[in-house]
Structure 1
Amino acid sequence: MFNLPGRITDRPLPAPRDDTGRWIGGSVEQWVAELTEAALEHGAGGFTLFSPGGGSPSPTSLGRWAAEIAPAVRAAVADVTETA
């Protein structure tokens, strides 16, 4: 299980990680790439999203997570595992 603080932005961030290498967020595409890699390369079996300051994500972020990010990660992982 990976816990991920971060914001979901409309445009890609120049760097989705801070100076220490911690994930800070990014566009839907950046999130999908990060979570897909975590699942495939590191065996992540689940993810928890929370706001960068701690606590619950905004309704907008949660909606984007549920409608855009989670389905895209599931599809990307399924594509790789079906062809393996």
Structure 2
Amino acid sequence: MKVWLVIGMLIMVGLIWWYEWSRLERERRKERAAVAILLGLGMILAVLLIINPELPGPTQLVNALFRPFGKIMEK
């Protein structure tokens, strides 16, 4: 069952890649790199969450990283 979810997600990522990549001009290498990196990170996160739904989300990571800074700022 999870294999089909991963395959469906990869198809969707491929469609998004094709649509965005075809709209960007060849000279805009930084924008193409940004699209590739963000799409790749999103794909990795989606596959990990499909395989193990109990993984903590990205907001929990951000909260864990910035909670000490928030406590310092309150003082």
Scaled by the length of structure 1, what TM-score is found?
A: 0.32
Higher helix share: 2
Higher strand share: 1
